Structure 1
Amino acid sequence: MAMNRVCQILKIEKPVIQAPLFWLTSPKLCAAVSNAGGLGVLGFNGGFKKPANTAEETIKGMRKSIHEIRKLTDKPFAINAFPSSIDFFGLNKNIIQLCREENVKTLVFVGQTEEEEIFKLKEEGFTLITRELNPTVRGAQKAEKAGADIIVATGCDEGGTMPRLSTGTLSAVALLSDAVKVPVLAAGGIINEKLAKATAIVGAEGAFVGTRFILSEENPASMVAKKDILKTHPDDLIVYTVMNGLARYRTTPHKFGKDGLLANQKGDFNPPTGSLYDGVIKGNLDASVNSVCNLAPLIKSIDPCKKIVEEIAKGYL
């Protein structure tokens, strides 16, 4: 059997990439995914004990988290970054500089395709996994031309910052994998071997996984938030539009989801999503969205990352 291209590019054993997940990452989670043979990814605020108030505090905290990951694993891991066009935090230059200083050479680059930025990062020797918020064939082709190593095909099935487009995961994978020569990762609802196999059939060479890793033993989400996901009925999940129509959130049915839906109905497409730190880390379910993929109700247990990586990888190897 031919070697999996995602594994070759990232120097990993199993083509399972953990989504950045912001607060819902930590050194413990990243290291556990990487030690299991996948690729752990440190998101903004990953591993922080309290919110950072300045860019300097954020960089200091991220540097500490990188050092902690390296104490827990000698395997590859990645850092989340954004193109300057959607740099919500004013942090991107600092994050990329941090990666240079700490010799983290793999970036998960999330946002619209900025060819010049991708090209420059590739020239510097970074390995780039690129993910458009709203994946398009043209965007994937632009990313490939600029030098992207791996492209994420995100369907509206996903949790977190969902595409506004109504393209499902299978459709996104089929379209993008047909349009580019570099490997494509499936994102959105990849919770087990069966779903992984389904995406592999239409062209995915690996998975970009968020919700399933929230329901891992190593994830820093509070047990309140994890149990909330496990008990939510699929028909009760709420989807509402944010970022002035650029994206959407799917959440378990609590205050921010209900208020967001009402705001949309009144013509407001930029309602808040709350504080993930207070909501999901601290367990106050009315303080933020508790965002999940649409197949989250099929997850029945909280498992070690090793078990999750091994199961999903079977779909591709």
Structure 2
Amino acid sequence: MEKFQLNRVCKILGIQKPVIQAPLYWLTSPKLVAAVSNAGGLGVLGPCGGFSKPVSTLQESKEEMRKSIRKTRELTNKPFGMNIPSPDPFGFSKDLVKLCKEENVKILVCAGDLVPNNYIKWKEEGFTVISRELNPSVRGAIEAEKAGADIIVATGCDEGGCMPILTTGTTAITALISDAVKVPVLAAGGIINEKFAKAAAIVGAEGAYVGSRFILSKENPASDKIKKDILSTHPDDFIVYTHMAGKSRWRTTPHKVGKAGLEENKKGNNNPSTGDFYKCVIKGDLEASVNSVCNVIPLIKSIDSCKDIVNEIARGFL
């Protein structure tokens, strides 16, 4: 059995292997999160992680998340985290933090806009904070560190999901941020196997923040149609379009919503529809939304267990 040496990321989070599962919204579930944590990494519940259906009120969302937290606890006794999105116009993230206090979830993965005052408050309340700025910058990383972030995610444009609008790649942003801060840095964007993890470690990463690779896991709740679609898409056929009023981009397999988004961009609209995620990724309607992944996911040819994925990526940080 391989022995993994605990680095700073492991010691801060109380885990065995420096592999953090990125919060994938509908594509997280107690089963996935627990599998990653049981494998020695850190599973993270997304804001819709484990919901059986879409909900319409904040109270419903909070109670569904409570069920997800408790179900995850039934499946693992290891640490896991909660994604706290920013901005928070409807107060959902604020409720999530309260829920984490109530349910004793101690690790917050803060994705989106940088809000230093939140970090300061959460640190005072005893949380461990992982900061994942939507459009990472060296100045933003320094500001996050000053506000108390324990770990900083360096996200390159190689990633899937809400991609940075900036065109800096994973290797470059990881090197720049790790040189600028004293806290450990996680590389995000295309860290799909040991080889890419080693490359990230060489330029300063002490762990990986992994999303797309966990979609192609046995425990991920994505529809089989979604997984097959990812495995069958040619590397040259992905569509990239801008959304969120120009703050972010999607890379998606080539279907209706992605094609329409690209056409809207050409007309000057940088806030096109992203469709219905639930119908797409959970129910398997490929025309309903985007199926977003990192740019090197075509190198993956199989659907594997979270345990095997965590172990392979962790080897890159030995």
Q: TM-score, normalised by structure 2?
A: 0.98
TM-superposition CA deviations, 1:164-195 (whole Å, max 9, x none): 00000000100000000000000000000000
Runs of 4+ in structure 1 off by over 2 angstroms are none
Residue pairs, 1:105-124, within 5 angstroms: 105-124=106-125
> Helix, strand or coil: the match of 1:82?
strand
Provide the residue aligned with 1:214 in structure 2.
Answer: 215
Give distance in 1, aligned partners of 2:120 and 2:79. 22
Q: CA deviation at 1:275?
A: 1.2
Work out whether residues 221 and 281 of structure 1, in 8 Å CA contact, stay in contact via their aligned partners in 2: yes
Mapped pair 1:53 → 2:56: yes
Mapped pair 1:151 → 2:152: yes
Provide the residue aligned with 1:142 in structure 2.
Answer: 143
Amino acid at match of 2:192: I
Mapped pair 1:165 → 2:166: yes
Amino acid at match of 1:180: V
Mapped pair 1:17 → 2:20: yes
Work out whether residues 55 and 61 of structure 2, in 8 Å CA contact, stay in contact via their aligned partners in 1: yes
> Helix, strand or coil: the match of 2:271?
coil
Amino acid at match of 2:67: K
TM-superposition CA deviations, 1:106-138 (whole Å, max 9, x none): 000012221111111001110000000000000
Provide the residue aligned with 2:234 in structure 1.
Answer: 233
> Helix, strand or coil: the match of 1:80?
strand
Q: CA deviation at 1:140?
A: 0.2
Provide the residue aligned with 2:268 in structure 1.
Answer: 267
Question: Where does the alignment leave 5 or more consecutive residues of structure 1 unmatched?
Answer: none
Q: TM-score, normalised by structure 1?
A: 0.98
With 45-54 and 159-168 compared, the bigger mean Cα shift is at 45-54
Work out whether residues 112 and 139 of structure 1, in 8 Å CA contact, stay in contact via their aligned partners in 2: no
Q: CA deviation at 1:274?
A: 1.1
Give distance in 2, aligned partners of 1:57 and 1:5. 37
> Helix, strand or coil: the match of 1:213?
helix
Residue pairs, 1:236-255, within 5 angstroms: 236-255=237-256
Provide the residue aligned with 2:67 in structure 1.
Answer: 64
Q: CA deviation at 1:88?
A: 5.0
What is the aligned-residue identity percentage? 69
